[in-house]
Amino acid sequence: MGSVESVEEAEKMVIKAREELAAGQKDLYMIEDLHKEIIAEEAIYKSVDEEEEVYNRILRTLKAHQKETMTRAYMVKVNNTTVNLESADDVNELLSRAIEKYDENDEYEVTTEINQERIMSTLTVRLSRKDVQYDDLSFDSGAQNTFGRDIAESEIIEFLDFKDITQGITSIGFAEEVEVAETYIPRSEIVDVDTALALFTEMQEQQRLYEVEPGDTLSAISRKVGHSMEELVELNSDYLKDVNSTIRAGQSLIITVPEPELSVLWTRREIVEESYEAPVIYIDNDDWYTTKQVTLTEPSAGYRKVVSDVTYKNDSAINRNIVKEEILLEAIAKVVERGTKVPPTYIKPISGGSISSGFGRRNSPGGRGSSYHQGVDFAIPSGSTVMASSGGTVSAAGWSGGYGYMVLITHPDGSKTRYAHLSKVLVSVGQSVSQGEKIALSGNTGISTGPHLHFEIILNGTPVNPLNYLN
């Protein structure tokens, strides 16, 4: 840049040039790829450059290395979605507009304040009532203002008349953590409030877990969650091979549901008159199996007036807490006597083998067999061991028409299992057998197109799909 009389003078020139460039800038003025070096040289006599000329060279060089101006902005992050807004006021407007649909009386406001506990410049988001007065809050004065009224009623609501209880929003907030931080970025990365609001509140497919309930099938779940069975298989390819894959109660399946990135949690106090059901009263019978229950008293709905705090996530109610109730007509509870004994379990009656014909409708084998199959067929060589699927008493053993040689076992709960197309029967009528005990040899007798075992489970006189019951 030139020669000056001292190191101190050179440093002052650089600082002055930086101050001049930064003067009047509301944004962060940045310079890159610049290396400064001051070389000291002792000389008895040496000419130096004009100070103004050296200064102007420094100023021009700094300008030549200016980076794109970085402007101060506010980064708002929810889950994995981030937007940059120009000011703290824009942040407040964004979050205020996110809740305004649910803040029916415009009672709440959003504010941001610097979090003093964090080293970085982060802001804490607060939602509060506009009319909160923290002084002179008491049960008497509370009845005159919204916030105080809620505090008072939560404490003494049981002693208030319904006419003295006000309906309306009692709390509002966000379901997800909202992070706000001050940052410096290129101005081109800043978005307006409308764009940010759309990003956070428009519906997007979010992954959730569905817990399989007793009695659920893949087709039933498909109808519940609005996915095709093929979509469920694709989402859960680690667990499901195809639409015929077995699912179990308690198993978790991945599903997708349309939800916004930012959800509003809000609670509304509501007063309604409604019919209601009394909880079912169960009387346990230790002599009955759990599959048996008898209704002793039929229920009758009652009628009541209730005050409840209903919590919503966006537009969907997710929880209801009854805080006051007045019974206008008492409900009659349903009384049910039920068994407590665990019913028999069923095991596969053979070792190995593959399913050659499933349960339900099928083409009649050889034009002679049934077109509705009441069991499953396991393809297995003749002479293979057949075991009792569950313990019980042999109620039939021998030749049985199209079944060929057959064994029928009645179990303690009244259920039955049938084993057909046998080559040899090894038990007799009236004989007690245990689960897993050898009862016959498989074969190809009766109406049969090849060596196999036909196996049935009969509950309450009706054949059911054995594959749903085998342990």
What string of H, E and C letters represents the secondary structure of 228-264?
Answer: CHHHHHHHCCCCCCCCCCCCCCCCEEEEEEEECCCCE
- Please say which residue of 64, 88, 108 terminates a domain: 64
Which whole number is the average pLDDT over 273-277?
Answer: 95
361 with 438, same domain: the answer is: yes
165 with 211, same domain: the answer is: no
Give the single-character DSSP code of 95: H
Residue 332's pLDDT is 97
In this structure, of 126-135, 202-211, 405-414, 427-436, the range with the lowest mean pLDDT score is: 126-135
Residue 365's pLDDT is 57
Would you state the structure tokens that stand for residue 393, as one six-digit string?
């008493």
- The CATH number of whichever domain residue 390 belongs to comes to 2.70.70.10
- The CATH number of whichever domain residue 324 belongs to comes to 2.20.230.10
Give the single-character DSSP code of 92: H
Which whole-number Å values give the CA distances from 332 to 295, 300, 335, 434, in the listed order? 13, 5, 9, 45
Would you state the structure tokens that stand for residue 222, as one six-digit string?
């498909």
- pLDDT, one tens digit per residue, over 13-65 is 999 999 888 887 766 677 877 888 888 888 777 788 999 999 999 999 998 88
Residue 119's pLDDT is 52
80 with 32, same domain: the answer is: no
Contact of 173 with 127, CB cutoff 8 Å: yes
- Residue 363: is it exposed, middle or buried by C-beta count within 10 angstroms (0-12/13-18/19+)? exposed
Count the alpha carbons within 13 Å of 199 in the hemisphere toward its beta carbon: 18
Assigned domain for 60 exists:
yes
Of the two residues 311 and 124, the one the predictor is more confident about is: 311
Contact of 62 with 34, CB cutoff 8 Å: yes
The residue segments making up the domain with residue 254 are 203-259
Assigned domain for 268 exists:
no
- Please say which residue of 151, 167, 198 terminates a domain: 198
- The CATH number of whichever domain residue 223 belongs to comes to 3.10.350.10
Assigned domain for 366 exists:
yes
- pLDDT, one tens digit per residue, over 321-345 is 999 999 999 999 999 999 998 888 9
- CA–CA separation, 370 vs 367, rounded Å? 8
Name the helix (H) or strand (E) containing 97: helix 88-99
Residue 128's pLDDT is 85
54 with 95, same domain: the answer is: no
- pLDDT, one tens digit per residue, over 101-118 is 899 888 888 888 777 665
97 with 134, same domain: the answer is: yes
Which whole-number Å values give the CA distances from 152 to 121, 145, 147, 158, 159, in the listed order? 38, 10, 9, 11, 11
Which whole number is the average pLDDT over 370-399?
Answer: 91
Assigned domain for 347 exists:
no
18 with 97, same domain: the answer is: no
Assigned domain for 21 exists:
yes
- β-strand partners of 126: 111
Per-chain mean pLDDT for the chain = 86
106 with 140, same domain: the answer is: yes
Assigned domain for 425 exists:
yes
Residue 369's pLDDT is 53
Angle between helices 88-99 and 193-201 in degrees, nearest 10: 40
- pLDDT, one tens digit per residue, over 138-196 is 333 233 333 344 444 556 777 888 888 888 898 999 999 999 998 888 888 999 999 99
Count of structural domains within the chain = 5
- Please say which residue of 146, 174, 198 terminates a domain: 198
Assigned domain for 382 exists:
yes
362 with 464, same domain: the answer is: yes
Percent of the chain with pLDDT over 90: 49
Residue 137's pLDDT is 31
Residue 136's pLDDT is 36
27 with 120, same domain: the answer is: no
232 with 252, same domain: the answer is: yes
191 with 207, same domain: the answer is: no
Would you state the structure tokens that stand for residue 113, as one six-digit string?
């304040």
pTM of structure: 0.56
- pLDDT, one tens digit per residue, over 415-457 is 999 999 999 999 999 999 999 999 999 999 998 888 999 999 9
326 with 371, same domain: the answer is: no
Assigned domain for 264 exists:
no
